[in-house]
């Protein structure tokens, strides 16, 4: 019996630790040959010396289990290094079939305190990093499709966050980048569908060095698998990378601890029509002020409600 990803090749960025590592291992378990990318900086804020260690260790782990893997230690936020990453997959495995974008950093600060550098660095790694690899992978699939005279196989799985859905007061850069990733994903899904390529995004909830503050107070269970373990997220990535997910395109998923939710596109909550050619201030004051008066003052999504968790 063949494995669902047998004969396919994948790139996973940020795969030296946490979610990316779990995803790379899962794709390999399902039969894919994997390029394990990680810049290897020890700080979750992108600080420290780059190291080949994390990527090399995960690639070695895949090979030790009987899979095929090679490491890439470049910075995906660098346009040319992202090109080299995609080219490495093509050189090593003959083609690229699957791209999983996961690399990211955090530089948290309230919007009134955030520096230009803190904003730019997070947008660069998350949003530009996703674009860079997507650009070169998309060009590869488009060229293959033209040569084949029809659709080819391609899968993109991008990593967003519920921070963009519900807000995250101390992460304006991160929330903006993650919202941008969803926009990039839906645009890419429309642009590449005719070539046989799908693009989807996930909002994972997982306990990693990136989320240690978010889940402070949510203790790991003494027995059994942690519901916030990255291993809960990886199977969805494996599924979205597979032929079985051919009809899932331009979708957003929330995933954690044995739960997958498909997020609907935004819906109109209320609609008001002017009684004239156009609204006046007074008319808007009358209809909108009344509308918001019916809702709790300062209504927001509490983090615990969004995460569906209760503190222990």
Could you tell me the mean pLDDT of each successive run of 10 residues in the chain, 312 residues long? 95 94 97 94 60 90 98 97 98 98 91 96 97 98 98 98 85 95 98 98 74 54 66 93 98 90 89 93 94 70 40 30
pLDDT digits (tens, 9 = 90+) for 259-270: 899 999 888 889
The model carries a pTM of 0.88
pLDDT at 47: 61
CA distance 286 to 73: 58
Q: Where are the beta strands (DSSP E) in 76-124?
A: 98-101
CA distance 151 to 145: 5
Among all chains, which residue has been given the structure tokens 């739960």?
259
pLDDT digits (tens, 9 = 90+) for 70-126: 999 999 999 999 999 999 999 999 999 999 999 988 898 999 999 999 999 999 999
Whole-angstrom Cα Rg for the chain: 21
Smallest CA-to-CA distance from 103 within 81, 66, 129 is with 129
Distance of CA 287 to the CA centre of its chain: 39
Question: What amino acid positions are annotated as catalytic residues?
Answer: 161, 174, 178
Residue 245 per-residue DSSP state: G
pLDDT at 283: 95
């Amino acid at each position: 019996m063949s494995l669902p990803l047998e004969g396919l090749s994948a790139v996973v960025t940020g795969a030296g630790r946490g979610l990316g590592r779990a995803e790379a291992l899962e794709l390999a378990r399902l039969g894919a040959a994997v390029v394990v990318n990680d810049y290897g900086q020890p700080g979750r804020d992108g600080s420290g010396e780059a190291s080949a260690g994390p990527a090399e260790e995960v690639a070695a782990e895949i090979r030790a289990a009987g899979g095929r893997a090679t490491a890439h230690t470049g910075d995906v936020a660098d346009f040319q290094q992202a090109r080299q990453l995609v080219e490495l997959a093509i050189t090593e495995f003959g083609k690229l079939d699957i791209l999983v974008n996961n690399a990211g950093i955090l530089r948290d600060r309230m919007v009134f305190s955030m520096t230009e550098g803190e904003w730019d660095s997070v947008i660069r790694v998350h949003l530009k990093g996703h674009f860079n690899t997507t650009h070169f992978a998309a060009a590869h699939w488009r060229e293959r499709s033209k040569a084949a005279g029809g659709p080819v196989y391609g899968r993109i799985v991008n990593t967003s966050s519920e921070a963009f859905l519900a807000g995250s007061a101390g992460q304006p850069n991160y929330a903006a980048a993650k919202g941008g990733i969803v926009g990039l994903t839906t645009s890419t899904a429309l642009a590449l569908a005719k070539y046989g390529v799908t693009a989807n995004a996930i909002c994972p909830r997982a306990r990693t060095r990136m989320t240690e503050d978010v889940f402070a107070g949510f203790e790991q269970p003494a027995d059994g698998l942690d519901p916030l373990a990255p291993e809960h997220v990886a199977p969805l990535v494996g599924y979205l990378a597979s032929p079985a997910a051919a009809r899932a395109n331009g979708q957003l998923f929330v995933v954690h601890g044995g739960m997958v939710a498909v997020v609907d596109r935004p819906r109109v909550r209320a609609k008001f029509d002017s009684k004239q050619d156009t609204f006046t201030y007074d008319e808007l004051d009358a209809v909108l002020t009344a509308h918001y008066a019916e809702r709790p003052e300062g209504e927001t999504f509490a983090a615990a409600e969004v995460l569906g968790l209760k503190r222990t």
